[in-house]
Chains A and B, each alone.
Chain A
Amino acid sequence: MTEPAATLRRTPMYDAHVRLGGRIVPFAGWEMPVQYKGIVDEHQAVRTAAGLFDVSHMGELELAGPYAGQVVNYLVTNDVSRLGVGQALYTCCCNAEGTILDDLIIYRAGDERFLVVCNASNHEKMAKVFASAAKDHCDFRDLSAETALIALQGPKAFDVLALAGADAAKLVELKSFHFRDAVIANVKCTAARTGYTGEDGVEIFCPWADAASLWDQLITLGEPLGLRPCGLGARDTLRLEARLSLYGNDIDETTNPIEAGLGWVVKMDKGDFVGRAAIEAIKAKELPRKLVGFQVKGRGIARHGYPLRDADGGEIGVCTSGSPGPTVGLNIGLGYVPTRLAAVGSTFMVDCRGKLVEAEVVKTPFYKRA
């Protein structure tokens, strides 16, 4: 809690979070709920019923014009030219060194209109990157201050939507990583079949002014079905079990997409893009290290920043994310290890504040929905 309160921003749902018993913490310049009843309770609600997350702190950037697609495609590693209108994709945005500036979802909202959703912690940086690339080529608008984002996730997400009006009920027909304009609980919005939990569900963009009403209605409609408001704590354990990267933990400007296991969003056949030459050089050689998923075998919980050691105590890498996995019932983590130790079944030690606890590389995702 180092940030002075005066600089922290609030989403339209702030009052609702407080009313629902949310514990508010500073996060990336925002006052956000880390949990309401409890992280495990919220985690299980998303796995078995539904959870509602306020992710309005994330950034939304719009690029429009005849050259918008080319500008976006030059800045990211995935191939935006493959997107049809109404489709979205996950991608990295790299610098010239081939390391990761941010991970993004790009939505093609029209023939010549793209929406870029970036991490709250990278919002200023990414707004600069996209604005400066857009200069003289296409229009750039930062829509973050007027765009709220609510994630509805879990096996009963579409049962909740079925109670939110005729149009919302039809959102179950949306395909994965597709989106469309919708009306949910009388609020005009855009719904995308995407998420960050490993569960099915939607992420809903709506005007800042309508978000609190949409949130309250979804809570009321969903509660009888087991829907719970969920904070950043459950969001983190859910995404970790699904092995979804967290920027600032698992990936950052010192890591490249290939070693991070994100090679699948790097399309070398799409033409030039920022970082391409560097990534080509990285791919031409054996990787010195890889991000792996591991299970802690002894009594210990791996945490972000804990050193990873070999049997003799020598430092071999670092844990980038770690916590108990409430659904898998194991203490799990992600970390960079030398490639020789990256195969499933390899073992090493996690240095839990001086205590060496054995860990084993396991297949990821740790959790995959049936």
Chain B
Amino acid sequence: MSDSFPSDLKYTKDHEWTRASEGGVQVGITSFAVEQLGDITLVNIDVKAGDTLAEGKPFGTIESVKTLSDLYAPIAGKVVRVNAALTDSPELVNEDCYGKAWMIELEPTGDAATATAGLLDVAAYKAHVDASG
């Protein structure tokens, strides 16, 4: 089990992470989710730049050898970029889930400064993982 998660990120109970960056809010999945999935073999991002997503809406799927999981938008926003590298290199998710395997970048619908305020901080996320593990 990974018991350390980056402290500068905000998290959801569905095991997505968000990172506020210049361009918007980056979204990916956590190392806990990656461990649960195993070897990632396919990432399908079903949205493109310009699409808008409501909070909690699926934006794609991720598949490992054994299972498939939906990817959910942690916050409402407009899609600014999607990570095209994952199309041909899904293994990036196993290798670098907090870096190269970011999935989409969102421009928050509301106030950018408080867009992720409602999400879990690292301590709350860790407690959530411990409770579900």
Q: List residues of chain A with CB under 8 Å of any chain B CB.
A: 34-35, 38-41, 233, 236-237, 299-301, 303, 323-324, 326, 331, 353, 355
Name the residue of chain A whose CB is nearest to the CB of B39: A40
Contact of B63 among A34, A236, A237, A301 (CB under 8 A): A301
Chain A residues near B44: list those with CB within 8 A.
299, 355
The residue on B at minimum CB distance from A35 is: B38
Most chain A C-beta atoms within 10 Å of own C-beta, residue among B39, B65, B66, B87 = B65
Closest Cβ of chain B to A241, distance in Å, is: 12
Chain A's closest residue to B67 (CB) is A303
A39 with B68: in contact, given A233-B38, A300-B42 (CB under 8 Å)? no
B65 touches A233 (CB 8 A): yes
CB distance from A172 to the nearest CB of B (A): 32
B30 at the interface (CB under 8 A from A): no
Instruction: Say whether A301 contacts B66, CB under 8 Å.
Output: no
B residues less than 8 Å from A300 (CB atoms):
42
B41: Cβ under 8 A from any A Cβ: yes
Whether A38 contacts B66 in the complex (CB less than 8 A), given A299-B44, A353-B61, comes out as no
Minimum Cβ distance to chain B for residue A46 (Å): 14
Interface centre among B39, B42, B61, B64 (most CB of A within 10 A): B39
Partner of A237, one of B61, B65, B87: B65
Interface of B is mostly: strand
- Binding site secondary structure of chain A: mixed
Query: 5 nearest interchain CB pairs?
Result: A40-B39, A39-B65, A324-B41, A301-B63, A38-B39
Q: Which residues of A contact B42 (CB under 8 A)?
A: 299-301, 324, 331
Give every chain B residue within 8 A of A41 (Cβ-Cβ).
Answer: 39
15 A-B residue contacts at CB 8 Å?
Answer: A40-B39, A41-B39, A233-B38, A233-B65, A236-B66, A299-B42, A299-B87, A301-B41, A301-B42, A301-B63, A324-B41, A324-B65, A353-B61, A353-B68, A355-B44
Known contacts A299-B44, A301-B68; is-contact A39 B38 (Cβ 8 Å): yes
Contacts of B87 in A (CB 8 A): 299
* B65 contacts A323, C-beta separation under 8 Å: yes
Interface residues of B in 57-87 (CB under 8 A from A): 61, 63-66, 68, 87
- What residues of B have a CB within 8 angstroms of the CB of A38 in the complex? 38-39
- Is A39 a contact of B63 with CB atoms below 8 Å? no
B61 near A40 (CB under 8 angstroms)?
no
Shortest Cβ distance from A233 into B: residue: B66
A22 CA / B40 CA spacing, docked (Å): 18
Given contacts A301-B41, A301-B42, A324-B41, contact A39 B61 (CB under 8 A): no
Q: Max chain B CB contacts within 10 Å: which of A34, A236, A323?
A: A323
Among A39, A301, A331, point to the contact of B39 (Cβ < 8 A).
A39
Cα–Cα distance between A166 and B122 once the two chains are bound (Å): 57
Q: What is the CA–CA distance of A300 and B46 in the complex, to the nearest angstrom?
A: 13
The smallest beta-carbon distance between A320 and chain B, in angstroms, is: 16
Shortest Cβ distance from residue A186 to the other chain B in the assembled complex, whole angstroms: 36
Q: Is the CB of B66 within 8 A of A34?
A: yes
Residues of B within 8 A of A331 (CB): 41-42
Q: Which residues of A contact B68 (CB under 8 A)?
A: 301, 303, 353
Q: Whose C-beta in chain A lies nearest to the C-beta of B42?
A: A301
Give A66 to B19 CA distance when docked, in angstroms.
Answer: 74
Nearest CB of A to B28, in Å = 20
Q: Which residue of B lies closest to A34 (CB)?
A: B66
Give chain B nearest CB distance to A334 CB in angstroms: 16
Q: Which of B42, B64, B66, B68 has the most A CB atoms < 10 Å from its CB?
A: B66
Q: How far is the CB of B78 from chain A (nearest CB, A)?
A: 24
Please name the residue on chain A nearest to B65 by beta carbon: A39
> 18 extra interchain contacts, Cβ-Cβ under 8 A, other than A323-B65, A331-B41, A355-B44?
A34-B66, A38-B38, A38-B39, A39-B38, A39-B66, A40-B38, A40-B39, A40-B65, A233-B38, A299-B42, A299-B87, A301-B68, A323-B66, A324-B41, A324-B42, A324-B65, A326-B65, A353-B61
